[in-house]
Amino acid sequence: MAVRHEVENLIRRGNIFYWRARIPSVFVHCRPGSRLSLSLHCSDHRKAQIIGRKLNTRLAELKMNSKEAMSTKKQLQILFEHVRDEEIERLDDISTMAKRNGRGGDVVEMELDLEVGWACQLLAKFGTRSELSLEGDCSGLTYLLKNGVPASHVDAIRANYRGELSKARSPGFEDGIRRLIYHFEIEDTALNRERAMSKMFEGRAAALLDIDERHDLVDRTLSEFTGGGRANTSVIEKKPAEVEPTAPPPSLVLANESQSEPTATVIPEPEEIAYLDLSPRVTPTTEKGALGTQQLNQRTVAVTDFEQECEKLIANMGKEWEPATARDAMALVRMFKSVLVEHGVEHSGQIEQYHIGLLRQHFNDIPTNWGKSGRMRVMSAPELRAEADKLRKAAEASKTEAKVGLAAGTIRKHFGNLQHFLKHLKGHGFEIETWTFEGLRPRKPKAGDIRRQQYKPTPDDVAPIFSSPIYTGALGHLRGKRRQPGKHVFHDSLYYLPVLFTYLGPRRAEFAGLTVDDIAKDDKGYVIIIRTNGIRRLKTVQSERQLPMPEEMVRLGFIDYYHAIKKLGYAALFPDLFSDQTKNDPGDRFYDTFIPVMRGALGEKMWSRSIHALRHGMADTLKQAGVSPEVIDDISGRLSEGSETNTRYTNPAGLPLMRDALSKYPIITAGIEAKPIQLLPWVEKCLPPPWARKAKNEERRRK
């Protein structure tokens, strides 16, 4: 139960404090009575009170100044100050921990901050589009030297610069910039995104280069950054009196064994001093720090590079993966990367079985339909879980079930893609700990459960679809008017595909992606050839097949439609499903237009997975009519297993056998009146589709 404290809007749930404030009514775009809810991620009540008071003050300022116009320049300056202050607070925490560990006056800590700071300053000045080599006549090197950066630190700055540049070029970075400028109410334009990125790096650089208070204990004469010469100073030359004359180092004894006159009390010659100066440096700390000496024996890949590695995996899989499979794999990798970053994992060598378990729990705590929302697809792992919490609260208020947590089948699919990705990394020599999905992957449903998962509509269930305005007459050719009664009957995918799905039970993409070359004729009638074409591929080898054209399709004028489309020069049999602006999935386009038609015709009786259920319904109807399951599988493009005769010794059912089997499905379209062919106006005139949008094309590519 939430416990309130004396600070307004501050409550405690368990050990964590939350700031929960009512949104002022001046924010007209928010629903009246809605609240802001923010976890402060702290359990100390004094610290929570301080943060709560600051948030209350900021909310009051927003309320009073909500209608004041603010220039972009001023907004960017506020963004800069915000990033700088956040970075200073983070660095102060690091500095405090360094003091606790006895490194409060360590010059190395100061130099590390300065090296990263100058790397960020380079990105702020030169941007992320160009890559600076910091060698020779590079303008970035000239900038550093002009500003007094020691040449001995350029290598370290280069390493930090390349690391920051890699992050800035990652796909998720621009999404982070978009969220940042949205937070500061800056107009989302390409120019403002570039300005915001520069300000962000400039703010980080300002915080990192401000070392006066954070490193006040450091002796500035020890660093070349601050006027000293530590990097070129010999230990022996600096403190010659500390070399004990009676007990020389072992290296000195070895160096002098071949000398006859010098004794242990003799001060070494200059060349011996140079030799002694090298001896303590034979095992220095590596510059890679976080990777430690582990990298000497193994290769790792940075978490920030996971998406590039996934692109390599997709390229390696080639035609074995369909575009949808590749998108699913990339979505999984991005999600896994976000979970790893959240828990401080920097490279593949740090991934443990524990992190795979964290990913499994993450699947339970995110919105079920997160992949369908462009806004949620760019969210980090904590943000997704916070979004799920909002859905739970809304569901509790409305006493409904919250759509949170991925389905078991989806989780199994994600774990399959994760296994592919981890094997890819391991196969390329990157260090990956042995993992297991035992106890994490949901069990595969039993055969009895699988049979009950999908509703199998009977012919009587399907028949109302063919009484819709699509077949009886619509008000117009536009999407909304096709569902309203009228006098126009148009012949397109929305008219013919439901008939084909009902009588033949194909996969959605198989028929939506047909071309005019996929229609043929034999002695008994017309034939539909299911094969890979220039529009789409097939799911499996057994998907390639020939199907007899249903007689009802011929009666309803499909052959005339086919000749009309071919005469106009179209390659696609259903051109209304294709955009001139993007390479869209025709099956998805048909789904978007046909589902509202089904919903209007079936009402509350509409079943789940509506179009795919027609495939199940056809198979079940034929089985109940006595058709062999092997023949049904051949019609559906599946391969029955468990029978050597069916898989090895025989070919798929021929067209005569298929025609006989398909005749067992009752005619439920007899009530449709055949009309003269009337194409969609823009199809007949070979014009671009009215629903195509270039913005959708760009959004699809970005996602």
Return the pLDDT at 328.
86
Predicted local distance difference test score (pLDDT) of residue 279: 38
Alpha-carbon distance of 284 to 278, in angstroms, equals 11
Indicate the range of 59-73, 176-190, 495-509 predicted with least confidence: 59-73
Confidence of residue 90 (pLDDT cuts 50, 70, 90): confident
Show the tokens assigned to 216. 């006040």
Residue 327 has pLDDT above 50, yes or no: yes
Burial of 417-441, coded b for 16+ CB within 10 Å and e otherwise, reads bbebbbebbeeeebbbeebeeeebb
Region 422-432 average pLDDT: 84
Which is more confident, 507 or 239? Answer: 507
Lowest-pLDDT choice from 176-185, 282-291, 328-337, 619-628? 282-291
Short-list 549, 527, 499, 636, CA closest to 628: 636
Mean pLDDT of the region 248-273: 39
Give me the pLDDT at residue 251, please.
Answer: 36
pLDDT tier at 287, thresholds 50, 70, 90: very low
Better-scored residue on pLDDT, 555 or 221: 555
Cα distances (Å, whole numbers) of residue 681 to 333, 382, 564, 684:
44, 49, 13, 5
Q: How confident is the model at residue 31 (pLDDT cuts 50, 70, 90)?
A: low
Task: Quote the pLDDT of residue 653.
Answer: 86
375: confidence class by pLDDT, cuts 50, 70, 90: confident
pLDDT at 549 over 90: yes
pLDDT of 29: 59
pLDDT of residue 543: 86
Residue 243, pLDDT above cutoff 80:
no
Residues of the chain with CATH 1.10.443: 459-698
Query: Mean of the pLDDT values across residues 502-509?
Result: 91
Region 264-287: mean pLDDT is 39
Q: In the structure encoding, which two tokens stand for residue 468, read together?
A: 């819709």
Distance CA 163, CA 116 (A): 10
Per mean pLDDT, which of 109-118, 223-232, 585-594, 659-668 is the most reliable? 659-668
Whether the CB-CB separation of 611 and 494 falls below 8 Å is answered with: no
Overall pTM surpassing 0.75 (yes/no): no
CA distance 647 to 641: 7
Residue 461 has pLDDT above 90, yes or no: yes
Q: Between the CA of residue 31 and those of 65, 284, 386, 411, what are the distances in Å?
A: 20, 60, 19, 35
CA dist 432 and 491 (Å) reads 56
What is the H or E stretch that residue 100 is in?
Answer: helix 72-100
Average pLDDT, the chain: 79
Q: Cβ-count burial of 483 within 10 angstroms (0-12 exposed, 13-18 middle, 19+ buried)?
A: middle
| Res 615 pLDDT > 80 | yes
- pLDDT score recorded for residue 229: 59
User: What are the tokens at 629?
Assistant: 């399951």
Q: Report helix, strand or coil for 347.
A: strand
Q: What are the tokens at 471? A: 């077949």
User: Percentage of the chain with pLDDT > 70?
Assistant: 83
667-670, Cβ contacts within 8 angstroms, sequence gap of 24 or more: 667/552, 668/459, 668/460, 668/462, 668/463, 668/466, 668/502, 669/466, 669/499, 669/502, 669/552, 669/556, 670/552
Task: Give the best-scoring range by mean pLDDT among 135-149, 164-178, 536-550, 662-676.
Answer: 662-676
pLDDT value for 667: 95
Give the β-pairing of 10-13 and 3-4: antiparallel
Instruction: Grade residue 33 by pLDDT with cuts at 50, 70 and 90.
Output: low
More confident site: 82 or 623? 623
Query: Mean pLDDT: which of 69-73, 247-251, 624-628 is highest?
Result: 624-628
pLDDT > 60? residue 238: no
Q: What's the pLDDT score for residue 5?
A: 62
Any residues with CB less than 8 A from the CB of 633 and at least 6 apart, and which?
A: 639, 640
When comparing pLDDT for 103 and 367, which is higher? 367
> What pLDDT score was predicted for residue 526?
93
pLDDT band at 496 (very low <50, low <70, confident <90, very high): very high
The confidence score (pLDDT) of residue 449 equals: 67
Per the CB < 8 A criterion, the answer to whether 433 and 351 are in contact is: yes
pLDDT at residue number 370: 82
Q: What is the mean pLDDT of residues 439-465?
A: 82
Of 614 and 76, more confident: 614
Nearest to 635 by CA among 546, 502, 531: 546
Structure tokens at 308: 């590039």
pLDDT at res. 582: 76
Structure tokens at 172: 């998720």
CA-nearest of 108, 95, 103, 124 to 225 is 108
Distance CA 5, CA 17 (A): 10
Name which of 59, 11, 62 is nearest 39 in CA terms: 11
Which overall architecture, per CATH, does domain 459-698 show? Orthogonal Bundle (1.10)
Ranking 62-71, 111-120, 219-228 by mean pLDDT, the lowest is 62-71
